[in-house]
Amino acid sequence: MRELSEEEWIRKNLKRLIEIKSISGEERDAVSFVIDLCKELGFDKSFIDEVNNGICIKGGESFSVLMAPHIDTVPGYYDVKEIEDKIIGRGAVDAKGPLISMLLASSREYERAGINFVALVDEEGKNTGSKNLINKGNQYDYIIVGEPSNISDYVIEYRGYAFIDMECRAKPSHSSFPNSASAYEIFHNIYYTLKKIFIGEKYENPSITLTKICGGEYYNVMPTNVRAILDTRFPYPYSIKDIIKLINDVIKTNDCSYNIISSCEPVKVQPSNSIARSIARAISKAGMKPRPVRKFGSSDMNILVNIAKRGIIAYGPGDSKFAHTNYEEISVKDVFVSSKVIENAINALSKS
């Protein structure tokens, strides 16, 4: 990096990282690339753990900071492009832009902080990467989760989720003379009853969305079996137990069953926690107005809050409205500014 300015380094390596496909479960090549960058940047230790997280460590021992961006993306690769200051491609916003910003910030020198940078896998799936940190019993004083928040905002709240695999059954019937409801009709009634309960237009209300459905046996036979995947989201103070009760109350009189594929509780932290205050002050120092925000989705912050001893927030460059779309684009300048905000926040913690 000595031959490049930091912004040139960002442009070069962010583009290369986005070009490496890394959908959930297939992150190994992208993680290896990040490990090579860590070695180039002079981290004390760099390695890939048993679930393919990329881990890079450096610094002191007075207090620990976990930098936790994720490296996986949803499916849907498309050609990476550069247009003026912007880089366009799958994962540019969610969350390879935040990852490069955090990696650069992590590589800088700090007086007292021990930096643990982890490129987490499977955030878009079952949070395998962050759950592995939990299972290993790791604890950190402060955690910054790398997610797109816009460079002047920081996230203090995410909704929880439960992915539901539901199956409905019915008796066979000829489609020309149906004598009972089909499995699809049974599911349809349940789903739209739940939609009336899970009114998710406002943040405060839980939501439910059908993301996958399959069923039917033959073109002139009423469906006897339908399976569907439902994505439920819910804010604090709802819990997974509350969501299960709402679903059970609806399906108890129908021939349907379900199981939870994956889930996590919602997370909410106070904007007065120490890492949030440090980020807010660093944003102000960069000439912007800091703003705590809450997100309709979820992130590894929902998991990692359990191992943050003194504070946790999510922060990073990029507009989250572009996440999971074919229009992901991120500004190289924003990635750089975000890295400086994180650097200044950690330096402030060193002096506190």
Closest listed residue to residue 65, CA positions, set 147, 139, 142: 142
In this structure, what CATH number is given to the domain that contains residue 73? 3.40.630.10
- Is residue 79 in a domain? yes
Do 273 and 146 belong to one domain? yes
pLDDT beyond 80 at 199: yes
Domain boundary residue, one of 249, 264, 279: 264
Do 213 and 334 belong to one domain? no
Do 135 and 284 belong to one domain? yes
How many CB atoms neighbour CB 192 within 10 A?
10
Contacting residues for 147 by C-beta, under 8 A, at least 6 apart = 69, 94, 95, 98, 155, 295, 299, 301, 314, 315, 316, 320
Strand segments (E) across 296-341? 308-315, 329-331
27, 94, 122, 123: the catalytic one is 123
Closest listed residue to residue 159, CA positions, set 299, 260, 291, 276: 299
Do 342 and 220 belong to one domain? no
Domain boundary residue, one of 238, 264, 290: 264
Do 41 and 82 belong to one domain? yes
Q: Could you identify the residue written with the tokens 């992150």?
A: 27
How far apart are the C-alpha atoms of 160 and 262, rounded to whole Å? Answer: 11
User: Most confidently modeled of 56-60, 320-324, 336-340?
Assistant: 336-340
In this structure, what CATH number is given to the domain that contains residue 239? 3.30.70.360
Do 235 and 298 belong to one domain? no
- Is residue 184 in a domain? yes
Do 252 and 284 belong to one domain? no
- Is residue 56 in a domain? yes
pLDDT of residue 255: 87
Do 37 and 145 belong to one domain? yes
Do 317 and 300 belong to one domain? yes
Q: How many domains does the chain have?
A: 2
How far apart are the C-alpha atoms of 327 and 78, rounded to whole Å? Answer: 10
- Is residue 175 in a domain? yes
27, 72, 124, 343: the catalytic one is 72
Give residue 2's pLDDT band: very low, low, confident or very high (50, 70, 90): low
pLDDT of residue 178: 74
Do 181 and 117 belong to one domain? no
- Is residue 136 in a domain? yes
- Burial pattern 211-236, b for ≥16 Cβ within 10 A else e, equals eeeebeeeeeebbbbbebebebbbbb
Q: Which domain holds residue 12?
A: 6-157+267-351
- Is residue 11 in a domain? yes
157 is a catalytic site residue: no
pLDDT tens, 95-105?
Answer: 999 999 999 99
How far apart are the C-alpha atoms of 197 and 194, rounded to whole Å? Answer: 5
Do 142 and 199 belong to one domain? no
What's the pTM value of the predicted model, to 2 decimals? 0.91
Give residue 268's pLDDT band: very low, low, confident or very high (50, 70, 90): very high
Give residue 161's pLDDT band: very low, low, confident or very high (50, 70, 90): very high
- Is residue 242 in a domain? yes
- Is residue 1 in a domain? no
Beta strands across the sheet bearing 256-264: 207-215, 225-234, 160-169, 256-264
Closest listed residue to residue 240, CA positions, set 301, 167, 159, 161: 161
Q: Are 316 and 146 in contact (CB under 8 A)?
A: yes
pLDDT of residue 22: 97
Distance spanning both ends of the chain, measured CA to CA: 31
Q: Is the dihedral of CA 208, 190, 247, 193 positive or negative?
A: positive
Closest listed residue to residue 256, CA positions, set 221, 215, 218: 215
Q: Is cis: bond before 170, omega within 30 of 0? A: no
How far apart are the C-alpha atoms of 103 and 293, rounded to whole Å? Answer: 23
pLDDT of residue 234: 96
72 is a catalytic site residue: yes
pLDDT of residue 329: 96
Do 18 and 164 belong to one domain? no
What SS3 class is residue 316?
coil
Domain boundary residue, one of 264, 290, 315: 264
Q: What is the separation of C-alpha 155 from the centre of its chain, rounded to a whole number of angstroms?
A: 12
How many CB atoms neighbour CB 184 within 10 A?
19
